């Protein structure tokens, strides 16, 4: 392919090929300082389905080792999103070494808080905010659980901030940590936020899961227990590779559920959420 | 008139069972599938280790080995759980 | 080497990978995945000293293949439970057959949906049993024309299992009725062999005829390298048996597949050094070189380099819906909220 970019995130190496230079230049800026793999785990391709689509009304089709049959192509302006989606897809469909949970995670003193739930629940934004407030950011999208040890491995990618969340960071972080503003994407406006330097430097350092939260945004503050069986079911629904990993995943997940304290938390605003996380951490994880 | 069905289950080594607040998580090795079942389903599977059995014989074995709430209609629960276990592939007709 | 000879050489001579550099490994893995041969490759490389990432990815591929094998055998077993009361022969086809019979063609193989062959007269009863007792239902796709499928194709419209989200294809012939060669399906069933559990597999010569028929059926050889690898493995497993090649020749003639079988054998010999009987394989023909070129057209990015972009590793969207946990129905309402 015409252009290539390689990057290692946590334990996984990616090779991204592209028919256009621009998306890869933007990727390189967001991933500055990350290591690069000699042999990648996964290949992503951003390509023009018809050769003339490279130039005339450029249309980016996402491909790679694993592909979806009906994926709609993106405009070149959103090519960076295409690369991110391509990487997500490889992880979601191809990750076979770690149990993949759709969750964000931050770490302190070798222990981690995991936050999981539906889109819009705020787990991504919360993890980014905590990462700016003394916690080590481990990831906002994928949490990787070691099948043998149960340890959590970091997967710290630039956080995809959407719509109002963008405003929470724009004035507080150095401008070079923010990617271009992409408007009118299927999810609204998006800007990427580079993780803090320590998150990148320590991305190979795992942590022990110590608290599991199911946050819900836009409600009066509340904290609730959840039954273990329900937690188990909800986590399998938050995993794309639970079935593929067989008994090892069953063991890792049931151990996680039995050993890690879990709470559902409702919050009206991010400060309230952060306060609740700190309080529960002191109560349950320390 | 069809004879009453006789049921069979895999031997215990085929399953990995974990009890979590009132239900059983079962990893079924032959299929690689995970099931969540409520009593008396796990007890039915254990009872079948003795050998194939129809619903009546199973009822006897369960009443012999376990204490169930008197208020529960054990027979109806047995029938319902057996049907679920069969659909799930954990039990089949011998 | 920027075409699939990289992959072919690794499969036929695993030790040759010792000279690969990082870029060579990167290309090899992308190609193997593109051709759905990663599991087979991982098995061939098992035991060799590999660079760390390659070793890791091969270990992952072996685990995936194991999982696929278990899923395939389970679908076969659940099918058996529903169909055995009918007393009809049920013949497993393709990947599931290879793993059920413990054949080398099944080692590391990626397996898709379950394919079975039954007598044409049994179709109705089989359909009823699968739907009424087994929990399968028609795939709800508007583009499938039910009538077209039944009349012209060689299978029932696709069936998918309600809970497990796995598809089953029920065939009564092995090629579309409108295709020119008309393999003798009844005879395939008559010559099939029983496995321990009562399910059946084709005779070895018929397995090769079947594989050869599908290699050329689509016209563009998609998935050809894997198909030929199957044929290579089958030939190695059975080629030494007395009378095998004669039987293969006879069966190929009977199924009107003499040409495809001969060409498949020649291609396997060219690519994988498969030991084949010269009488059955015949002399090289004009189209062989073109076939080889098309089969080799996969680049280091895992793309097929010929026109008519055909993506070999589509994940069918139903695989993504695979429910992770089978929840007993009466427990479902508890966790329905959210």
Residue C329 at interface with chain B, using a CB cutoff of 8 Å: yes
Option in A15, A65, A69 nearest C317 (CB): A69
pLDDT at residue number C180: 77
> What are the residue ranges of helices labelled H in A71-136?
79-94, 123-131
Flag if B38 and C135 touch (Cβ within 8 Å): no
pLDDT (tens digit per residue) in A56-65? 788 899 999 9
pLDDT at residue number A58: 84
pLDDT at residue number A214: 96
Distance CA C47, CA C53 (A): 15
Which residues, at least 6 apart from C184, have a Cβ–Cβ distance to it below 8 Å? C254, C255
Is pLDDT at B66 greater than 60 in this prediction? yes
pLDDT at residue number C145: 56
Q: How far is CA C91 from CA A166, C76, C78, C80, C156, in A?
A: 59, 10, 14, 10, 15
Average pLDDT, chain A: 93
Select from A16, A39, A250 the residue whose CB has the most chain C CBs within 10 Å, as the one to mutate to test that interface: A39
Distance CA B47, CA B51 (A): 8
Which two three-digit tokens encode residue C1?
Answer: 């080497």
Per-residue DSSP letters for A226-255?
--HHHHHHHHHHT-SSTTTTHHHHHHHHHH
Residue with tokens 């039944």: C150
Across A243-267, average pLDDT: 96
- Could you count the other beta carbons within 10 Å of the beta carbon of residue A34? 18
Q: Of B7, B20, B22, B21, give the one whose Cα is nearest residue B88.
A: B7
Lowest mean pLDDT among A104-118, C129-143, C242-256: C129-143
Residues of A in contact with C302 (CB under 8 A): 43, 45, 64-65
Residue C308 at interface with chain A, using a CB cutoff of 8 Å: no
pLDDT at residue number C284: 86
C183 CA to chain A: closest CA distance, Å? 32
Grouping H, G, I as helix, E, B as strand and the rest as coil, residue B23 is strand
pLDDT at residue number C320: 44
Average pLDDT, chain C: 87
Residue B19 at interface with chain A, using a CB cutoff of 8 Å: no
Q: DSSP code of A149?
A: T
Across C262-272, average pLDDT: 96
pLDDT at residue number B4: 85
Is pLDDT at C194 greater than 60 in this prediction? yes
pLDDT at residue number C280: 93
Residue of chain C whose alpha carbon sits nearest to that of A40: C26
Residues of B in contact with A226 (CB under 8 A): none
pLDDT at residue number C307: 45
Flag if B18 and A229 touch (Cβ within 8 Å): no
User: Higher pLDDT residue, C299 or A129?
Assistant: A129
For residue A51, list its beta bridge partners.
none
Distance CA C35, CA C109 (A): 11
User: Higher pLDDT residue, C338 or B47?
Assistant: B47
Phi and psi angles of residue A278, each rounded to the nearest 5 degrees, phi first = -60, -40
Select from A234, A247, A252 the residue whose CB has the most chain B CBs within 10 Å, as the one to mutate to test that interface: A247
> Could you give the percent of chain C with pLDDT greater than 90?
67
User: Chains near A, with 3+ CB pairs < 8 A?
Assistant: B, C
pLDDT at residue number C216: 85
Inter-chain Cβ pairs, chain A and chain B, closer than 8 A: 35
Flag if B34 and C163 touch (Cβ within 8 Å): no
User: Higher pLDDT residue, B92 or A184?
Assistant: B92
pLDDT at residue number A55: 80
Q: Of C93, C92, C38, C102, give the one whose Cα is nearest residue C69.
A: C102
Flag if B21 and A227 touch (Cβ within 8 Å): yes
Distance CA A56, CA A79 (A): 15
Distance CA A14, CA C303 (A): 17
Option in B25, B32, B33 nearest A232 (CB): B25
Residues of A in contact with B34 (CB under 8 A): 236, 242-243, 250
Lowest mean pLDDT among A223-232, C86-95, C144-153: C144-153
The answer, yes or no, to whether ipTM is higher than 0.95 is no
Residue B38 at interface with chain A, using a CB cutoff of 8 Å: no
pLDDT (tens digit per residue) in C43-52? 999 999 999 9
Is pLDDT at C311 greater than 50 in this prediction? no
Residue B84 at interface with chain C, using a CB cutoff of 8 Å: yes
CA angle C192, C41, C293 (to 5 degrees): 85
The shares of helix, strand and coil residues in chain B, as percent rounded to the nearest 5, are 40, 30, 30
pLDDT (tens digit per residue) in B10-29? 999 999 999 998 899 999 99
Lowest mean pLDDT among A58-62, A173-177, C155-159, C175-179: C175-179
User: Higher pLDDT residue, C89 or A188?
Assistant: C89
Distance CA C30, CA C8 (A): 13
Distance CA C257, CA C249 (A): 9
pLDDT at residue number A42: 97
Flag if A93 and C315 touch (Cβ within 8 Å): yes
Across A240-256, average pLDDT: 95
B56 CA to chain C: closest CA distance, Å? 23
Distance CA A53, CA A69 (A): 19
- Confidence bin at B42 (pLDDT 50/70/90): very high
Phi and psi angles of residue B34, each rounded to the nearest 5 degrees, phi first = -105, 135
Distance CA A140, CA B75 (A): 49
pLDDT at residue number C21: 97
Flag if B89 and C74 touch (Cβ within 8 Å): yes
User: Higher pLDDT residue, C329 or A121?
Assistant: A121
Which residues, at least 6 apart from C105, have a Cβ–Cβ distance to it below 8 Å? C98, C229, C230, C233, C234, C237
Distance CA A212, CA C319 (A): 28
pLDDT at residue number C177: 66
CB A67, CB C314: distance < 8 Å: yes
Across C160-188, average pLDDT: 86
pLDDT (tens digit per residue) in A77-118? 899 999 999 999 999 999 999 999 999 999 999 999 999 988
pLDDT at residue number C314: 39
Which two three-digit tokens encode residue C69?
Answer: 């094998």
Average pLDDT, chain B: 90
* Count of residues in chain A: 286
Is pLDDT at C151 greater than 70 in this prediction? no
Flag if B20 and A228 touch (Cβ within 8 Å): yes
Distance CA A109, CA A112 (A): 8
Is pLDDT at A168 greater than 70 in this prediction? yes
Residue A239 at interface with chain C, using a CB cutoff of 8 Å: yes
User: Higher pLDDT residue, C140 or C224?
Assistant: C224
Is pLDDT at C322 greater than 70 in this prediction? no
Which residues, at least 6 apart from C30, have a Cβ–Cβ distance to it below 8 Å? A43, A65, C300, C301, C302
Is pLDDT at A39 greater than 90 in this prediction? yes
pLDDT (tens digit per residue) in C5-43? 999 999 999 999 999 999 999 999 999 999 999 999 999
For residue A17, list its beta bridge partners.
A4, A45
pLDDT at residue number C258: 94
Inter-chain Cβ pairs, chain A and chain C, closer than 8 A: 86
User: Chains near B, with 3+ CB pairs < 8 A?
Assistant: A, C
Residue C25 at interface with chain A, using a CB cutoff of 8 Å: yes
pLDDT at residue number A140: 94
Task: Spell out the SS3 assignment of chain C.
Answer: CCCCHHHHHHHHCHHHHHHCCHHHHHHHHHHHHHCCCHHHHHHHHCCCCCCHHHHHHHHHHHHHHHHHHHHHHHHHHHHHHHHHHHCCCCEECHHHHHHHCCCHHHCCCCCCCEEEECCHHHHHHHHHHHHHCCCEEECCCCCCCHHHHHHHCCECCCEEECCCCCEEEEECCCCCCCCCCCCCHHHHHHCCEECCCCCEECCHHHHHHHHHHHHHHCCCCCCHHHHHHHHHHHHHHHCCCCCHHHHHHHHHHHCCCHHHHHHHHHHHHHHHCCCCCHHHHCCCCHHHHHHHHHHHCECCCCCECCCCCCCCCECCHHHHCCCCEEECHHHHHHHCCC
CB A52, CB A37: distance < 8 Å: no
Flag if A232 and B27 touch (Cβ within 8 Å): no
CB A86, CB A63: distance < 8 Å: yes
B37 CA to chain C: closest CA distance, Å? 6
Which two three-digit tokens encode residue C30?
Answer: 């992308």
Is pLDDT at A170 greater than 70 in this prediction? yes
């Amino acid at each position: 392919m015409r252009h290539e970019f390689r990057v290692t995130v946590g334990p996984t190496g990616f090779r991204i090929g592209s028919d256009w230079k621009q998306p890869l230049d933007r990727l390189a800026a967001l991933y500055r300082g990350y290591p690069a793999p000699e042999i990648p785990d996964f290949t992503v391709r951003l390509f023009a389905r018809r050769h003339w689509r490279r130039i005339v009304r450029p249309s980016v089709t996402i491909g790679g080792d694993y592909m979806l049959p009906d994926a709609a192509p993106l405009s070149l302006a959103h090519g960076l999103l295409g690369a991110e989606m391509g990487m997500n897809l490889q992880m979601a469909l191809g990750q076979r070494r770690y149990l993949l949970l759709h969750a964000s995670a931050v770490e302190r003193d070798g222990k981690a808080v995991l936050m999981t739930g539906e889109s819009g629940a705020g787990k991504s934004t919360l993890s980014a905010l905590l990462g700016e407030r003394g916690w080590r950011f481990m990831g906002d999208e994928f949490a990787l659980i070691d099948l043998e040890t149960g340890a959590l491995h970091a997967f710290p990618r630039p956080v995809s901030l959407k719509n109002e969340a963008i405003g929470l960071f724009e004035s507080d972080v150095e401008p070079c940590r923010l990617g271009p503003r992409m408007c009118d994407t299927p999810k609204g406006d998006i800007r990427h936020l580079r993780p803090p330097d320590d998150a990148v430097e320590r991305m190979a350092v795992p942590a022990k899961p110590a608290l599991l939260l199911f946050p819900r945004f836009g409600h009066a503050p509340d904290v609730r227990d959840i039954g273990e069986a329900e937690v188990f079911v909800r986590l399998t629904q938050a995993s794309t590779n639970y079935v593929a990993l067989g008994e090892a995943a069953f063991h890792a997940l049931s151990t996680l559920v039995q050993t890690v304290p879990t709470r559902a938390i409702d919050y009206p605003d991010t400060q309230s959420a952060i306060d609740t996380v700190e309080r529960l951490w002191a109560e349950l994880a320390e | 008139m069809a004879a009453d069905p006789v049921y069979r289950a895999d031997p215990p080594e085929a399953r990995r069972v974990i009890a979590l607040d009132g239900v059983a998580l079962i990893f079924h090795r032959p299929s690689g599938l995970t099931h969540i079942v409520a009593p008396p389903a796990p007890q039915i599977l254990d009872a079948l280790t003795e050998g194939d059995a129809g619903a009546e014989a199973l009822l006897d074995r369960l009443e012999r080995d376990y204490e169930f709430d008197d208020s529960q209609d054990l027979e109806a629960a047995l029938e319902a759980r057996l049907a679920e276990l069969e659909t799930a592939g954990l039990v089949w007709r011998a | 080497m920027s075409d699939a000879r990289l992959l072919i050489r690794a499969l036929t001579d695993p030790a040759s990978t010792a000279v690969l550099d990082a870029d060579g490994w990167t290309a090899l893995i992308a190609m193997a995945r593109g051709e759905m041969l990663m599991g087979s490759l991982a098995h061939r490389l098992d035991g060799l000293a590999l660079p760390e990432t390659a070793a890791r990815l091969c270990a992952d591929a072996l685990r995936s293949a194991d999982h696929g094998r278990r899923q395939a055998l389970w679908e076969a077993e659940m099918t058996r439970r529903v169909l055995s009361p009918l007393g009809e022969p049920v013949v497993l086809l393709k990947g599931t057959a290879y793993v059920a019979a413990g054949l080398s063609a099944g080692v590391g193989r990626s397996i898709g949906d379950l394919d079975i062959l039954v007598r044409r007269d049994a179709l109705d009863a089989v359909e009823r049993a699968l739907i009424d007792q087994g929990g399968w239902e028609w795939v709800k796709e508007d583009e499938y024309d039910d009538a077209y499928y039944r009349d012209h194709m060689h299978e029932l419209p696709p069936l998918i299992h309600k809970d497990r989200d796995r598809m089953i294809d029920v065939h009564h012939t092995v090629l579309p009725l409108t295709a020119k060669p008309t393999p003798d399906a009844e005879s395939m069933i008559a010559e099939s062999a029983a496995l321990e559990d009562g399910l059946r597999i084709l005779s070895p010569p018929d397995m090769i005829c079947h594989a050869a028929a599908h290699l050329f059926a689509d016209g563009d050889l998609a998935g050809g390298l894997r198909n030929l690898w199957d044929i290579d493995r089958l030939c190695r497993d059975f080629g030494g048996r007395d009378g095998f090649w004669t039987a293969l020749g006879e069966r190929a003639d009977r199924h009107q597949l003499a040409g495809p079988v001969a060409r498949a054998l020649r291609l396997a010999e060219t690519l994988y050094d498969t030991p084949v009987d010269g009488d059955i394989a015949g002399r090289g023909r004009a189209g062989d070189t073109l076939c080889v070129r098309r089969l080799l057209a996969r680049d280091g990015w895992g793309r097929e380099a010929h026109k008519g972009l055909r993506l070999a590793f589509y994940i069918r969207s139903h695989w993504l819906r695979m429910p992770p946990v089978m929840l007993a129905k009466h427990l479902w309402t508890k966790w329905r909220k959210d």
